[in-house]
């Protein structure tokens, strides 16, 4: 994407949150990463998100993240839009990665600084400083998982910041979703940050979702999303219900740990997680295997398991 206008035009639909595959030595496996990106593109995903919270960016060095951005953009070659997470606890790193992501033609995704007792005014000032650094604009990630939840009123202020092209909303409180959808729809792009419960935000008028579990269940997740997109609520409901047991395991054991274990059952190379995360236990893998076998037995899921 060459500028903010093109970014706004292309920023919609279902984005695969591509996991970062680490090999047994803890290094990024770029060959596996390219395989997973190509799978998402071939199945018709509208975009990908790289190096986010489920991409394990907090455990990567600045040099690794620079290399990750460059490798991914070289692979994609502008075939689909790419969100590149440039968040950091160090604003100096966030500024550098945000500028790099925009220069490479990606859309930087930025969280609020995760600093204790930061005020709304300081968060607003931070985004006002960061947004102009990227020629493609920025995506504000409201990520409660880092310990800061941006209120709807603050998000409305951020929507007025030049260069903010969208919000990825991780606070799925129905009241917050209702206010954001009705106050900000059309002003900027609205993305639901969780595929575990995306039907509500999409029906409220969000522009898209980002999905980590689509690394393991790419056919099923995109089919569910396309049904919502077409207004076929009953099909979307039925397809979403198919993988409830999987979602329960994901909530219990965490993402990306369970996602990578499920990818392995399918013969996809998701690699392993990096410390402090640990691979899921043998008992969890056994439970996951039963769930995946059940999904594979239903033709609607599109799931097949490795031989």
Interval 63-76: pLDDT, tens:
999 999 999 999 99
Is residue 81 included in any domain, yes or no?
A: yes
Per residue, what are the HEC states of 286-298?
HHHHHHHHHHHCC
Q: What is the pLDDT of residues 39-71, one digit of tens each?
A: 999 999 999 999 999 999 999 999 999 999 999
Mean pLDDT of 25-50: 97
pLDDT at residue 238, rounded to an integer: 96
Confidence tier at 98 by pLDDT (50, 70, 90): very high
What DSSP string describes the chain? Answer: --SHHHHHHH--EEEEEE---B-TTS-B-HHHHHHHHHHHHHTT-SEEEESSTTTTGGGS-HHHHHHHHHHHHHHHTTSS-EEEE---SSHHHHHHHHHHHHHTT-EEEEEPP--TT--HHHHHHHHHHHGGG-TT-EEEEE-GGGT----HHHHHHHTTSTTEEEEEE----HHHHHHHHHHHBTTBEEEES-STT-HHHHHHT--EEEESGGGTSHHHHHHHHHHHHTT-HHHHHHHHHHTHHHHHHHHHH-TTHHHHHHHHHHT----B--TTS-PPPHHHHHHHHHHHHHHHTSGGG------
pLDDT of amino acid 197: 86
As to burial, measured by CB atoms within 10 angstroms (0-12 exposed, 13-18 middle, 19+ buried), residue 206 is buried
Question: What average pLDDT does range 133-161 have in this prediction?
Answer: 94
Q: Is residue 289 part of a domain?
A: no
Residue 286 lies in a domain: no
Report the C-alpha gap between 30 and 50 in whole angstroms. 12
The mean pLDDT value of the chain amounts to: 95
- pLDDT above 70: percentage of residues in the chain: 100
Give residue 146's pLDDT: 81
92: left (phi over 0), alpha (psi -120 to 50) or beta: alpha
Q: Closest by alpha carbon to 88, among 53, 116, 121? A: 53
Q: For residue 256, what pLDDT band results from cuts at 50, 70 and 90?
A: very high
Tell me which of 147 and 191 has the higher pLDDT. 191
d(C-alpha 217, C-alpha 19), whole Å: 13
Residue 140 — pLDDT band, cuts 50, 70, 90? very high
What is the pTM assigned to this prediction? 0.96
Predicted local distance difference test score (pLDDT) of residue 43: 97
Q: Is the pLDDT of residue 171 over 90?
A: yes
Q: Is residue 119 part of a domain?
A: yes
Q: Is residue 22 part of a domain?
A: yes
In a domain, residue 303? The reply is no
In order, the DSSP letters of 193-260 are S-STT-HHHHHHT--EEEESGGGTSHHHHHHHHHHHHTT-HHHHHHHHHHTHHHHHHHHHH-TTHHHH
In which band, very low, low, confident or very high, does the pLDDT at 188 lie, cut at 50, 70 and 90? very high
Instruction: Using pLDDT thresholds of 50, 70 and 90, give the confidence band for residue 145.
Output: confident
Task: With beta carbons less than 8 A apart as the criterion, state whether 192 and 229 touch.
Answer: no
Which positions are annotated as active-site residues? Answer: 141, 168
307 pLDDT tier (thresholds 50, 70, 90): confident
> What is the per-residue pLDDT across 262-302, written as a single tens digit (0 to 9) for each?
999 999 999 999 999 999 999 999 999 999 999 999 999 99
How many structural domains does the chain have? 1
Question: Looking at residue 57, which CATH number applies to its domain?
Answer: 3.20.20.70
Nearest to 179, CA basis, from 206, 197, 208, 161: 206
Q: Is 70 inside a domain boundary? A: yes
Q: What pLDDT shows up at residue 116?
A: 83
Residue 112: domain span: 4-245
At residue 147, the pLDDT reads: 80
Is the residue at 208 inside a domain? yes
The confidence band for 8, taking pLDDT boundaries of 50, 70 and 90, is very high
């Amino acid at each position: 994407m060459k500028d903010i206008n093109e970014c706004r035009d292309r920023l919609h639909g279902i984005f695969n949150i591509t996991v970062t595959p680490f090999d047994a030595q803890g290094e990024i496996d770029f060959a596996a990463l390219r395989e997973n990106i190509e799978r998402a593109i071939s199945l018709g995903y509208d975009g990908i998100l790289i190096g986010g919270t489920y991409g394990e960016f907090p455990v990567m060095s600045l040099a690794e993240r620079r290399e990750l951005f460059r490798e991914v953009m070289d692979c994609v070659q502008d075939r689909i839009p790419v969100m590149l997470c440039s968040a950091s606890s160090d604003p100096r790193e966030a500024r550098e990665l945000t500028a790099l992501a925009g220069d490479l033609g990606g859309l930087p995704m930025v969280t609020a600084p995760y600093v204790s007792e930061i005020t709304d005014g300081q968060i607003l000032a931070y985004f006002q400083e960061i947004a102009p650094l990227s020629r493609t604009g920025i995506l504000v990630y409201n990520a409660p998982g880092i310990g800061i939840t941006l209120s709807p009123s603050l998000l409305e202020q951020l929507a007025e910041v030049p260069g903010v092209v969208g919000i990825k909303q991780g606070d799925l409180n129905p009241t917050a979703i209702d206010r954001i959808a009705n106050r900000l729809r059309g002003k900027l792009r609205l993305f639901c940050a969780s595929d575990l419960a995306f039907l509500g935000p999409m029906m409220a008028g969000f522009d898209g979702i980002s999905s980590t579990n689509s690394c393991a269940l790419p056919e099923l997740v995109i089919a569910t999303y396309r049904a919502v997109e077409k207004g076929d609520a009953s099909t979307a409901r039925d397809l979403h219900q198919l993988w409830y047991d999987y979602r329960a395991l994901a909530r219990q054991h965490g993402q990306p740990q369970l996602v990578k274990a499920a990818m392995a059952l399918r013969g996809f190379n998701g690699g392993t997680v990096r410390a402090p995360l640990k691979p899921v236990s043998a008992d969890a893998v056994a439970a996951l295997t039963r769930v995946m076998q059940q999904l594979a037995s239903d033709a609607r899921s599109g799931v097949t398991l490795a031989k």
